[in-house]
Structure formats: C-alpha cells, structure tokens
Amino acid sequence: MIVVFLERLTVRYTKLAGMDVSEICLGMMSYGDPKRGGHPWSLPEEESRPLIKAAVDAGINFFDTANVYSAGSSEEITGRALKDFARRDEIVLATKVYNRMHEGRNGAGLSRKAIFAEIDNSLRRLGTDYVDLYQIHRFDPAVPLEETLEALHDVVKSGKARYLGASSMYAWQFAKALFTQRQNGWTRFVSMQNHYNLVYREEEREMLPLCADQGIAVIPWSPLARGRLVRDWDASTARTDTDEFGKRLYLDSDREIVDTVAEIAAAREVSRAQVALAWLRRNPVVTAPIFGATKREQLDDAIAAVDFELTDDEVRLLESGYRPRGIAGH
C-alpha cells in the first residue's frame, strides 16, 4: 500500500480492479451550476476549483460525477479543473449514465441509443477522450438487460471507457447482470456504487456479500447520510431544505445513532465525519466511500478519517441503535 504525506494529512491508495485509487473518492455532485439541474446547494465553478485543487494536492486521485449532476455542468467543472490541476494518466475519473438528460423520446435510460449518445456527451463535457469508470446510475427495467450490457461492452471496446461499474439496485439484478456478462464474454462490472452508511445498512444482507464473493469493489454513496451523521438531528442546511430525494432516505429513529456518533466524536476529540467514515472503512469489502465536500475542513476530515480507528466497543455502540427498514435509494 502506498502512503503519501502532505500537510500532516495521510492519503492511502488501494486497488479498484487493476487501478490504484485513493481510499477516499471525491464526489463531484457538490460542484455544478446551482441554476441548472435542481441542485441549488451546489457550488459554482469559481467556488469549486479551490476544493478540487486541494483534493488533488492532498493526493486524492479518484473523482466521481454523473451526466445528470447539475444538468451536465458538474462534468464540465470537473473536466476543466482536473485538466488544470492533475495529470490525466494518474487520476481515476468516473461518471454515470441513466437519468433524464433531455425532454422527449430517448432522453434517458440504458438503451443502446442512449448509452452511445451519453458517453459522447459526457466525454465532450469532461474534455477527455475516455473515462476510467463508466457506471450505470440505476437499473433500467424498461430495456432488455442484454442490450444494455452489450452496449456497455462496446463502449469499452471502442476505447471510450476503461472499466464498467453499476450503482444502486437489488442484489439479484446485479447477480443476473454479472452472470449475463460472463456468459456472453462481455466486459464485467468491477464496482458497485451503493447506498451504505451507519443509518442505512440494508446492503449488508445481500449486496455486500455478493460483491465480496465476486471480487467487486464497493464505493458507497452518501457515507455521511446526506450530512445527517455530522450535525445535530434537527439542524437544517440549504441542502436538507431542498433535497427531496434525501428526505425519503432516513427515519426519525436514526436520531439515536446520530447522537452516538456525536458522543464518540466528542470523547475522542475528532470530528463526527471521522467517526462515521471510520466505521464504514472497517468493512473490508468497502474500497472507497464517495465523499462530498463544500468546505475545506470537510475535505480535511475525510482524509483524516483514513488514519482514524474505532475500538470494538465503539463499533458495538454505534451499531446497537440500528433498526431494519425498507430498501431506500434505488
């Protein structure tokens, strides 16, 4: 394992398929034109660039965006910043396809037509001729699975993507996709970007064991539960007030876990983010949580979490308040 020391912070690297990736992935949903795409809390380009540069300077080389984030402007900001601040052959750049990008017919989904159109649109916005990880943002039941998987295989063979990944779906759907890829000799998914954190652990039932068995990298989204794990339960932010999707993800009973995170953080004199991320990283199937940062201290917290370890007693205390719930985030 490679270790980089910079400004007293430590960045470590691990493997995602054959690639070296930082153990923290910077999620680029936080960066985009707030007037486009329904994310009024996202940072415009002039405010995004210093944070992206700080991440690169700290050794983070893994960046995850999506075509739908801020109606494509996240990809534009990401591409321009990484071109200026990083070496393309050293970074791992990921984006996603599925959600609606224009009104009318064929403006969304995972048809061959949509995938071929959207990979070209993403590459144009990112200012690159390939992405390292091309992911399906969700499962598309309206399109034959074989059509989607063969189209993704052809994207890789065309040189426009190096690896393929998937995001939130049922484990049986992911297992079926992996089997179909193997059966046809198509490029297999190497990663699963799923919803997983201290207050949403349903992925531990089937998806995480499947990924462990198949050697699939796990790169969870919302590792801090849309920020709920790092602030008092009743606190509000610009994002909590406008994030309708996020309002459907968590339960009032999760307050107990949030309070426990705060207690452990205070006792250990670390941030709440470090506690929540340290818990997530204890799971050996987790490769790199996808972390969003709109402030420099948030970025520093994420990097510091790589070296912070919880005791077994603290883990038991954190996990004791969890209540099973229905699937959320698909």
Percent of the chain whose predicted confidence (pLDDT) is above 90 = 85
Each residue of 300-318: pLDDT tens digit? 999 999 899 999 999 999 9
Local confidence band at 2 (pLDDT 50, 70, 90 cut-offs): very low
Structure token digits, residue 227: 């920020």
Percent of the chain whose predicted confidence (pLDDT) is above 70 = 93
Q: Report whether pLDDT(6) > 60.
A: no
pLDDT at 57: 96
pLDDT at 40: 86
Average pLDDT over the chain, rounded to whole?
93
Q: Specify whether 130 is catalytic.
A: no
Mean pLDDT, rounded, for 51-56: 97
Class of domain 3-320 as given by CATH: alpha beta
Local confidence band at 232 (pLDDT 50, 70, 90 cut-offs): confident
**End-to-end CA gap in the chain:** 33
Each residue of 262-292: pLDDT tens digit? 999 999 999 999 999 999 999 999 999 999 9
Q: Report whether pLDDT(244) > 80.
A: no
* Domain spans in the chain, listed from the N-terminal domain onward: 3-320
* CB atoms near residue 19 (< 10 Å): 18
CA distance 77 to 84: 11
- Tokens 């399906």 correspond to what residue? 136
Q: Report whether pLDDT(89) > 70.
A: yes
Q: Count Cα neighbours of 8 within 13 Å in the Cβ-side half-sphere.
A: 2
pTM over 0.95: no
In the chain, DSSP assigns E strands to: 3-6, 9-16, 19-22, 25-27, 62-64, 92-97, 131-136, 161-167, 189-193, 217-218, 290-291
Q: Which residue has the higher pLDDT, 39 or 301?
A: 301
Q: Report whether pLDDT(137) > 70.
A: yes
Mean pLDDT, rounded, for 162-174: 98
Q: Report whether pLDDT(46) > 90.
A: yes
CA distance 52 to 78: 8
Which is catalytic among the residues 13, 69, 163, 200? 69
pLDDT at 198: 97
Each residue of 193-215: pLDDT tens digit? 999 999 999 999 999 999 999 99
Asked which of 162-171, 246-255, 288-297, 317-326 is least confident by mean pLDDT, the reply is 246-255
pLDDT at 239: 60
Q: Report whether pLDDT(85) > 80.
A: yes
CA distance 169 to 151: 19
CA distance 166 to 161: 14
CA distance 317 to 12: 27
